[in-house]
Chain A
Amino acid sequence: MDNEQRVKIAIVDYGLGNLFSIKRACEYVGMDTVISSDSKEILLSDAVILPGVGAFGDAMGSLRRLDLVSPLKETALSGKYMIGICLGMQLLMSESFEFGRHDGLDLVKGQVVRFNEPADGKRALKVPSVGWRKISITEAGASSGSPLYGIDNGSYMYFVHSFYVKPSDSSIATSISRYGDIEFVSSLREGNITGFQFHPERSANTGIQIYRNLKDIIRKHTKGIKDV
């Protein structure tokens, strides 16, 4: 009967980001959603999505104003499945260098840095980087239990970003992508924490398959926690 149990996912609303396309994608694959900035409601869900579009410093400022920093950290440390998307993934990191230095949630060790000019200086990169880029899926990413399990290597995903993450432990990368001559970690996973630099909810059928995977992973993960 556990297969029938619906997954309830909280989408953190801190005033920024594309909450509604995430909500629609979750609903499309059969998850229940709640868009909320209320830490109690977030704690009651099976998993948490931290979305985000905009500037890192502003986003952390909003999370602080809404008193969400500690609850989010506690939620993640309690073992609840947490998904950061785009800026949401960057917020999971220790620190960012977007317009000065800012502390992140520090749930994943590492930094957020800006795209630089290409080393050969030939063609300046447009920033933000907007568009579809390939992900090359790492061994960790292709393993069962990864949200990218079963996704074709080299699939196209939709990106909008000016900054990218550099995790201290590069083995947590589930995919690598390339912009100009820069290779960067385009998704990662460390225990119950998962991040995507791209937008699976805007990446057509392949992205929707990632949401289906997430639903299955969260269902198993939640059951695992409850059984303990």
Chain B
Amino acid sequence: MARSVRIIPRLDIKGPNLVKGIKFEGLRVLGKPEDFARYYYENGADELIYIDAVASLYERNSLVDIIEKTSRQIFIPLTVGGGLRTIDDIRTVLRMGADKVAINTAAIRRPELISEASRTFGSSTIVVSIEAIKRPDGVYEAYTEYGRERSGIDAVEWAVRAVKLGAGELMVTSIDREGTGSGFDTVLTSKIAALVPVPVIAGGGAGNTEDIFKAISEGKADAISVASMLHYNYFRHFKYEKSDFSSEGNIEFLKKGEVPAMVEDVSINDIKRYLFDLGICCRI
């Protein structure tokens, strides 16, 4: 039986804009998240992930509007994360049309949130997001607050604990690789995937289709979250109105429009066909 994997565009959102950084820093404005989400939905995305890039810091959640707008027209699973702290926060985004929530900072601060949330909403609704940096001693340390704060917690041990508490899926992101296009940290994802019975979504590092294949074959991931590759592909080929974004944030990139060379120019379908030819099942 061939393995079946999901390709999940990840949209990091700051205020009204889709943004992309490198290692979660230097966020560039790329456009309106609704445009990208709609395009990905129509072109084979298996799910979507929205992450509010600033919610943890400012204790607010600007995503609600965007979720509300997109969920009326997009009929694939939507995971929302960033700044969700309480059962009520989770209920709010689910009521707006999210199917699952991703929690990181609040879960590390108070792990019981995972068990409470999975009891309240069902464990398949609760994705625990683990964002890790590899220390010089080889230990992967979990970070909170969009990669800004150390937790002192071993990410692999935390993964096992989070699943015991009721996480239905894990989203594992290597901060070292995030936005760099230098490939996934397959050691991190395979270590975790070997220890947990639930699906693992690998994130951070996709630069080309081969990286994605490796994340599945070596990294044992069940799903892949992709950002830069897809965002820049859309950006290159679909010259949408440049006024279609709020002028809030760093818009230098949009003004110049120079796409970074570190990521391969491929669409979701290109990725899936490549994987399919290598014997990996995906919805085409």
Interface size class on chain B is 20 to 34
Interface-central residue, A118, A126, A205, by most chain B CB under 10 Å: A126
**Which residues of the other chain, B, contact A181 by a CB distance below 8 angstroms?**
1
- Contact present for A204 and B41 (CB under 8 Å): yes
Number of interface residues of A (CB under 8 A): 36
Contact residues, A178-219 vs B (CB, 8 A)? 178, 180-181, 199, 201-205, 207-208
Give Cα distance in the complex from A73 to B191, angstroms.
Answer: 48
Give Cα distance in the complex from A27 to B72, angstroms.
Answer: 9
- Contact present for B97 and A21 (CB under 8 Å): yes
Q: Does B265 contact A (CB under 8 A)?
A: no
Q: Does B96 contact A (CB under 8 A)?
A: yes
Q: Does A109 contact B (CB under 8 A)?
A: no
- Contact present for A132 and B72 (CB under 8 Å): no
- Contact present for B121 and A53 (CB under 8 Å): yes
Name the residue on B nearest A123 (C-beta).
Answer: B1
Contact residues, A101-138 vs B (CB, 8 A)? 118, 123-124, 126-128, 130-133
- Contact present for A128 and B75 (CB under 8 Å): no
Looking at the complex, which one of A126, A202, A203 makes contact with B198 (CB distance below 8 Å)? A126
- Interface on chain A toward B: helix, strand, loop, or mixed SS? mixed
Interface-central residue, A133, A160, A181, A205, by most chain B CB under 10 Å: A160
- Contact present for A202 and B169 (CB under 8 Å): no
Give min CB distance, A76 to chain B, whole Å.
Answer: 24
- Contact present for A131 and B6 (CB under 8 Å): yes
* Known contacts A54-B121, A128-B198, A132-B283; A21 and B75 CB within 8 A of each other: yes
Give Cα distance in the complex from A228 to B76, angstroms.
Answer: 39
Query: What does the 1/0 interface line of B9-44 toward A look like (CB < 8 Å)?
Result: 000000000000000000000000000000001000
Give min CB distance, A24 to chain B, whole Å.
Answer: 6
- Interface on chain B toward A: helix, strand, loop, or mixed SS? loop
**Which residues of the other chain, A, contact B123 by a CB distance below 8 angstroms?**
54, 128
Give Cα distance in the complex from A27 to B97, angstroms.
Answer: 13
- Contact present for A126 and B199 (CB under 8 Å): yes
Looking at the complex, which one of B94, B97, B124 makes contact with A160 (CB distance below 8 Å)? B124
Name the residue on A nearest B41 (C-beta).
Answer: A204
Give Cα distance in the complex from A167 to B189, angstroms.
Answer: 38
Name the residue on B nearest A59 (C-beta).
Answer: B122
Q: Does B218 contact A (CB under 8 A)?
A: no
- Contact present for A130 and B169 (CB under 8 Å): yes
- Contact present for B168 and A128 (CB under 8 Å): yes
- Contact present for B97 and A131 (CB under 8 Å): no
Looking at the complex, which one of A20, A54, A118, A132 makes contact with B4 (CB distance below 8 Å)? A132
Give Cα distance in the complex from A158 to B122, angstroms.
Answer: 17
> 12 additional contacts, CB 8 Å, given A20-B97, A118-B1, A131-B199?
A18-B94, A53-B124, A54-B121, A54-B122, A54-B123, A127-B198, A128-B168, A131-B222, A132-B6, A178-B1, A204-B76, A208-B75
Residue ranges of A at the interface with B (Cβ–Cβ < 8 Å): 16-18, 20-21, 24-25, 27-28, 53-55, 118, 123-124, 126-128, 130-133, 156, 158, 160, 178, 180-181, 199, 201-205, 207-208
